[in-house]
Amino acid sequence: KYSPGPADLVLGKQRIKDLMVIFDSGSSYTYFTSRVYEVLLSE
């Protein structure tokens, strides 16, 4: 795993700030926090 630290995720006009970013090359799935998942569903 590699974590470059917090980042902003921009979806359309909505920005979610300071999300912890983690890259895991051994994973074939992407996981989002409930906050990010709710924004994705609302788009």
* pLDDT (0 to 100) of residue 28: 56
Burial category of 15 from C-beta neighbours within 10 Å (exposed 0-12, middle 13-18, buried 19 and up): exposed
* pLDDT (0 to 100) of residue 34: 82
Amino acid at 15: R
In angstroms, rounded to a whole number, what is the distance separating the alpha carbons of residues 15 and 39? 9
The tens digit of pLDDT for each residue in 1-43 reads 677 778 888 878 888 888 877 777 666 566 777 887 787 777 6
C-alpha 30 chain-centroid distance = 9
In angstroms, rounded to a whole number, what is the distance separating the alpha carbons of residues 16 and 25? 24
Phi, psi of 33 (to 5 degrees): -65, 165
Q: What is the pTM of this model?
A: 0.41
